[in-house]
A and B are shown apart, each in its own frame.
Chain A
């Protein structure tokens, strides 16, 4: 069954949404993603801001501190729901594969 856009998150998207469970701005988001992934995921600024624009349009995140020069972002309730769904989906895949993988 085809999924709607952003219903399934790519790896960078997943980590960015996770990072935005805290209020952060651009550079902090990149650093947080690196930390959460143990240095495995590196997001370029161009990819990050394209992603943030998409998330913002889909109401997954919101901007805060609009009066300040630097914009900060934080996840919304809708964003939390999508993040949880993705976490459940990944977890289900791991559990489904557990028996098979242990037998290999």
Chain B
């Protein structure tokens, strides 16, 4: 609400079903020394004046009929014309018994219903939003939300989607409220009673119900945003779970102030606060590497998937099998496994690299390819294996290398033996590993 000396402004939040509440509100303002001066799409403007006891009437009226004769007739009945915006016209009188501006309830009900149905802003926006949502929802099944985490453009998409959902919630709520009012009003008019516009108390209850729904949406928005922004990390890292608390607190604080600061500032503050809290949390998480539990979606590698026994060596012969060189970071896990037969000297070494982030996987593959630049290409893209290399060396038999990619996992395999067919070897390794 902006104040400027003798002018007082507040948001215009009343709709056509709340005309009684609007009149009661204006009456209260008059008693506070604020006299209605003007009304527009967003604001009620008041002059500061002596408090008075006045009666207000807000009507939906065809402004084409708003001519001097009509104003004169109103004045004859004791009504002073105050202001109007579109078809909403406001009058006031000192006389508590003055005849109402609209007295034929049946006719008035038809006028209001017709005006509401023809309102382009509400219904045009409603249909456009529903159409847009239907178009997007056609493609929703093809979108895997889990992998949006590192992708900024997709985060923007998610935000737009949530705003669209919010717009739909608003539309459905308003439509439901209107239908509820329409049915009540129709029943009243049929009985010969006055059209039941919502009064102050009823409007307040309606707004509380709306606030609960919007509040739930706000909680869902913050929670879903945190989850999609951070992907799997939000599931595994307690720091992100804790970060939801300041998000929700700021959401409620901003929501509480929204009537004073206006809709646009509410939206801007909400987006800024999410961005600042989550950026700060992300930075802290990277700095302190705060994974609090193992990510069960990445292979733990407690047991070695395959050993030299899968390639001809006897079980009872002593083997040396070990997992070495484990490295786990926020973005990837890296295992290095060796299996060696102590009798024949057969030796398998393989590396498992797991990351949810395509960029990390790409970098690893580029590094592998660079490392094997000196090798001659044995065969490319052999079924599951992306690359197979052979390096002729000074020993009895060559070293064979290959790497395969499946989902989040890259397996880089090398073996040193001559008594197994190379392709069979790699296929066996692939099947053993990926199942």
**Closest chain B residue to A70, Cβ basis:** B69
Contact of B70 with A26 in the complex, beta carbons under 8 Å: yes
Q: Which residues of B contact A12 (CB under 8 A)?
A: 103-104
Kindly state the separation between the CA atoms of A44 and B103 in the bound complex, as whole angstroms: 5
Question: Which of A30, A50, A70 has the most chain B CB atoms inside 10 A of its CB?
Answer: A50
0/1 string, B50-81, CB within 8 A of A gives 1: 00000000010110010111101110110100
Contact of B107 with A44 in the complex, beta carbons under 8 Å: no
Min Cβ gap B231→A in Å is 60
Knowing A25-B69, A26-B69, A69-B68, say if A47 contacts B62 (CB, 8 Å): no
Chain B interfacial residues counted at CB < 8 A:
24
Tell me the interface secondary structure of chain A in the complex. helix
Q: Which residues of A contact B72 (CB under 8 A)?
A: 26-27, 70
B285 within 8 A of A: no
In A38-91, which residues have CB < 8 Å from any B CB?
Answer: 42-51, 53, 69-71
Kindly state the separation between the CA atoms of A27 and B69 in the bound complex, as whole angstroms: 8
Min Cβ gap A62→B in Å is 15
The stretch of B94-102, B256-264, B425-433 in contact with A is B94-102
Q: Which single member of B62, B69, B100, B111 contacts A44 (CB below 8 Å)?
A: B100
B108 within 8 A of A: yes
Contact of B101 with A44 in the complex, beta carbons under 8 Å: yes
Q: Which single member of A27, A47, A69, A71 contacts B103 (CB below 8 Å)?
A: A47
Contact of A42 with B103 in the complex, beta carbons under 8 Å: yes
A99 within 8 A of B: no
Q: Which residues of A contact B115 (CB under 8 A)?
A: none
Contact of B61 with A46 in the complex, beta carbons under 8 Å: yes
Knowing A53-B62, A53-B65, say if A47 contacts B73 (CB, 8 Å): no
Kindly state the separation between the CA atoms of A49 and B68 in the bound complex, as whole angstroms: 12
Knowing A27-B76, A30-B76, A44-B99, say if A10 contacts B104 (CB, 8 Å): yes
Q: Which residues of B contact A50 (CB under 8 A)?
A: 61-62, 65, 102, 104, 107, 111
Kindly state the separation between the CA atoms of A49 and B59 in the bound complex, as whole angstroms: 13
Kindly state the separation between the CA atoms of A85 and B101 in the bound complex, as whole angstroms: 29
B→A interface (CB under 8 Å): 59, 61-62, 65, 67-70, 72-74, 76-77, 79, 99-104, 106-108, 111
**9 chain-A/chain-B pairs, Cβ below 8 angstroms:** A25-B69, A43-B103, A45-B76, A47-B103, A47-B104, A48-B73, A49-B65, A50-B65, A70-B68
A→B interface (CB under 8 Å): 10, 12, 25-27, 30, 42-51, 53, 69-71
